[in-house]
Structure 1
Amino acid sequence: MCETKMMKLMERSSFLYIHGDNDFKMREYYNTCGFKLGIGVNPFSRLGFGAAVWEAARGLCQYFEKEELIFSNKKVIELGAGTGIVSILVALLGGDVTITDKPELLNRIKRNVSFNIPSSFKPQVKVRALRWGLDINQFPSDYDYILCSDILYLHGSIPLILETLLHLSNRNTIVYFASTMFYGQEVTRKGHVTLSQYFKTELVCRYDAEDVNVYRMLLNTANTAHLPNLYRRGWFHMRLDHSKD
């Protein structure tokens, strides 16, 4: 695991207010992995969580920089991408990236992609809607990496996130899952306990000051061999519901 006493979460280097823009009220700038990313945000948007750069997203970017990760020729998908900052960085690091979130956020993500990614990289970036547990059959199960940051904040989302991760994963898929642990503390901790039942989970980095954990997860094939049939019988969701008691 990372040495916590040495870790400092990536900070915003500067910002610029934007006037007359219905999507973005400001552009925040972050320096990471040799790139300067300009990310449009709107902290007062009705879209809420998806319109700001959250701590866990910054934690993932910082972790990728520390580990000097390269994603060349790797197939990557991000769930609940929000502003798209993590996926944008991964695309610049060579990844073939599918950026996903709710339909109403896609236009803003596309604008951030357009601002940050050179035209020569854009063919390897796709922005698509993915509602957890609902649209998963429109996506394959051959991703090299799945990225998630600060997406555990509602009890009802836990089984949907898990079902989505299980569908997208294969035995070689690496999931990087970052969470700010004090946000919805009970939900966040329960979510990670639930995920660890089906994924081998390792805490690879922690930012103490911001209470951000970065986990590296691999599918536990021994525990998931029969899950497709169990989904169809509804057993999977019933089991998760009972676990709340």
Structure 2
Amino acid sequence: MKVMKLMQRASSLRIYEDGDFRRKDCYQTCGFTLEIGVNSHSGLGFGSTVWEAARGLCQYFEKEGIRFSDKKVIELGAGTGIVSILVALLGGDVTITDQPELLNGIERNVSFNIPSSFKPQVKVRALRWGLDNTLFPSDYDYILCSDIMYFDDSIPSILETLLHLSNERTIVYFASTMSYGQNMTREGHVTLSHYFQTELVCRYDVEDVNIYRMRLNTPTAGQLLNS
């Protein structure tokens, strides 16, 4: 496990007369400058801000030199889309998912950052955990999650979604700010560890962010969930 410094915002630009964003924040990572529109007053909840765990996951990919060329990737609860945008620039075939009302903002952030030659490998789709799972395949090489455990009642649906999307080769990178709903977040990771082999691969002490790498325990884990 490596203890690292969390990626910080490089600059910020105020945006006027924009129905989606009030500000465009810039982050520098993996040799790219990511321009991410945000609006904490949009009424769209957690998905309209770049949270600590998303920054941590981007920084982890940079420090570890992880590349996603020819890999099939899906992100759950992508929010602004910053993690998936970076992964697409690193060569991944990425499906970016969140609640339907957040997709417009994600698509705009994709347009800010992804060259036209890369856009065929980026898809933006709605995925409501525990409801839309069967609309997606189970052949992903990577599943990405950052700061998605906020409510106790979301943990079973997150687990159900992860189990559907995973196969025995899938790697899940799950980043969480542990101080957000501290007991709930820790209990959520304990629940996930019953079904996934879980390793803490990085920690950002100051921001209390953990990054876990997870693999499905067995190909029949989904059967255990329903038993």
Q: TM-score, normalized by length of structure 1?
A: 0.91
Q: Which residue of 2 aligns with 1:239?
A: none
The 1-side partners of 2:219 and 2:74 are apart by 24
The 2-side partners of 1:37 and 1:126 are apart by 18
Alignment partner for residue 160 of structure 1, among 157, 162, 165?
157
Q: Which has the larger radius of gyration?
A: 1
Q: Which residue of 1 aligns with 2:142?
A: 145
The 2-side partners of 1:30 and 1:146 are apart by 22
Q: Which residue of 2 aligns with 1:204?
A: 201
Alignment partner for residue 221 of structure 1, among 194, 207, 218?
218
Counterpart mapping for 1:4-19 below 5 A: 4=3, 7-19=4-16
Q: Which residue of 2 aligns with 1:31?
A: 28
The 1-side partners of 2:127 and 2:161 are apart by 9
Q: Which residue of 1 aligns with 2:179?
A: 182
- Give the counterpart letter for 1:100 in structure 2: T
Q: Secondary structure at the match of 2:86?
A: helix
The 2-side partners of 1:201 and 1:208 are apart by 19
8 A contact 1:144–1:172 mirrored in 2? yes
The 1-side partners of 2:221 and 2:71 are apart by 24
The 2-side partners of 1:46 and 1:101 are apart by 15
Give the 3 Å change call, closer, same or farther, for CA 167–225 of structure 1 in structure 2: closer
Q: Secondary structure at the match of 2:152?
A: coil
Alignment partner for residue 122 of structure 1, among 119, 124, 129?
119
Per-residue CA deviation, residues 125-147 of structure 1 (Å, 9 max, x unaligned), is 00000000000000000000000
Offset at 1:43? 1.2
Q: Which residue of 2 aligns with 1:71?
A: 68
Q: Secondary structure at the match of 2:62?
A: helix
Whether 1:106 aligns to 2:103 is: yes
Q: Which residue of 2 aligns with 1:80?
A: 77
5+ unaligned residues in a row in structure 2: which ranges?
none
Give the 3 Å change call, closer, same or farther, for CA 24–66 of structure 1 in structure 2: same
Q: TM-score, normalized by length of structure 2?
A: 0.98
Divergent runs of 4+, >3 A: none
Q: Which residue of 2 aligns with 1:20?
A: 17
Offset at 1:45? 1.7
The 1-side partners of 2:164 and 2:207 are apart by 31
Alignment partner for residue 41 of structure 1, among 24, 38, 43?
38
Q: Secondary structure at the match of 2:41?
A: coil
Offset at 1:226? 2.8
Offset at 1:50? 0.3
Between the two proteins, what is the percent identity of the paired residues? Answer: 76
8 A contact 2:199–2:214 mirrored in 1? yes
8 A contact 1:26–1:42 mirrored in 2? yes
The 1-side partners of 2:81 and 2:223 are apart by 34
Offset at 1:225? 6.3
- Once superposed, what is the RMSD of the aligned Cα atoms? 1.0
Q: Secondary structure at the match of 1:105?
A: helix
Alignment partner for residue 193 of structure 1, among 173, 190, 214?
190
